[in-house]
Amino acid sequence: MQKLILPLLVTIIVVMLYFQYFAPSNELGSFSKFDTNSNASMPIIVKLVKEKGVKRISGGNYHFYAVDKENKEMLITGIKDLPPGMNGAKTIVITGHLSGKDAFHAHGIELRN
CA proximity to 112, closest of 46, 56, 66: 46
Q: What is the pLDDT of residue 48?
A: 92
Q: Stretch 70-82: mean pLDDT, rounded?
A: 91
* Half-sphere exposure for 36 (CA within 13 Å, toward CB): 6
Q: What is the pLDDT of residue 69?
A: 94
Q: What is the signed CA dihedral for 93, 21, 39, 68, rounded to 10 degrees? A: 40
Residue 2 has pLDDT above 80, yes or no: no
Residue 113: pLDDT band (50, 70, 90) is low
Q: Stretch 7-18: mean pLDDT, rounded?
A: 90
Residue 22 has pLDDT above 80, yes or no: no
Q: What is the pLDDT of residue 58?
A: 82
More confidently predicted of 40 and 87: 40
From CA 100, how far away is CA 82, in angstroms rounded?
Answer: 23
Residue 36 has pLDDT above 90, yes or no: no
List domains and CATH numbers for the chain: 27-112 (2.40.50.140)
Do the Cβ atoms of 18 and 10 come closer than 8 Å? no
pTM to 2 decimal places = 0.76
Residue 21: pLDDT band (50, 70, 90) is confident
